């Protein structure tokens, strides 16, 4: 989660949230929190349709992993921080539970497929197609500079 989103959840400013994190930096190793690169930030801005005309950040945003979000409860000391952290941890637990259920469903489907003969092949193929993630977009949208075509 982005630092600004977490600050909003905790009902504080981004600068206050990061100040608290900086004071206890040893609690946030690289796998708990990291700063976006310029390229990642530009990509995020373009996907989020964020304006660059005025205002904005003077530094690259920080991103907190699941463990980093959980660690914030030990850094932020407010009743709101405790409640938000409880809900965030519950959300991560639900997400993991959904992923486990997906794996269990695939295992059950494999077992059924081996048990029944070819007459159900079409049904199994259709179920697998429904469970597959959507394909990635083939072409990027927006303006593209085509310098290669003009260079001789």
Q: How do residues 116-141 score in pLDDT, each as one tens digit?
A: 766 667 777 777 787 777 776 666 65
For residue 149, tell me if it sits in a domain.
no
Question: What pTM was computed for the model?
Answer: 0.56
Number of structural domains, the chain? 1
For residues 50, 52, 56, 58, the Cα torsion angle rounded to the nearest 10 degrees is: 120
For residue 152, tell me if it sits in a domain.
no
Domain with 23 in it: 3-131
For residue 87, tell me if it sits in a domain.
yes
Q: How do residues 41-65 score in pLDDT, each as one tens digit?
A: 888 777 665 555 445 677 899 999 8
For residue 147, tell me if it sits in a domain.
no
Q: Please give the pLDDT value at position 71.
A: 87
Pick from 9-13, 44-48, 73-77: least confident:
44-48
Question: From residue 15, how far is each of 26, 57, 62, 107, 143 by CA, in Å?
Answer: 18, 11, 11, 47, 34
What SS3 state is found at 99? helix
Other CB atoms within 10 Å distance of the CB of residue 32: 17
Q: Please give the pLDDT value at position 53.
A: 47
What SS3 state is found at 62? strand
Contacts 24+ apart (CB under 8 A), 35-43: 35/60, 35/61, 35/62, 35/63, 36/60, 36/61, 36/62, 36/63
Mean pLDDT value across the chain: 78
For residue 125, tell me if it sits in a domain.
yes
For residue 136, tell me if it sits in a domain.
no
For residue 144, tell me if it sits in a domain.
no
For residue 101, tell me if it sits in a domain.
yes
């Amino acid at each position: 989660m982005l630092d600004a989103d977490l600050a909003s959840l905790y009902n504080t400013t981004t600068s206050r949230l990061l100040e608290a994190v900086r004071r206890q930096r040893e609690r946030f190793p690289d796998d708990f929190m990291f700063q976006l690169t310029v390229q990642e930030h530009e990509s995020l801005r373009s996907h989020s349709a964020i304006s660059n005309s005025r205002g904005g950040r003077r530094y690259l945003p920080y991103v907190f992993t699941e463990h980093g979000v959980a660690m914030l409860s030990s850094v932020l000391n407010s009743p709101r921080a405790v409640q938000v952290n409880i809900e965030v941890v519950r959300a991560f637990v639900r997400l993991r539970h959904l992923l486990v259920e997906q794996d269990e469903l695939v295992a059950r489907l494999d077992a059924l497929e081996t048990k029944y003969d070819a007459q159900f092949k079409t049904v199994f193929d259709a179920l697998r197609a429904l469970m597959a993630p959507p394909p990635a977009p083939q072409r990027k949208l927006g303006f593209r500079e085509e310098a290669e075509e003009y260079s001789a």
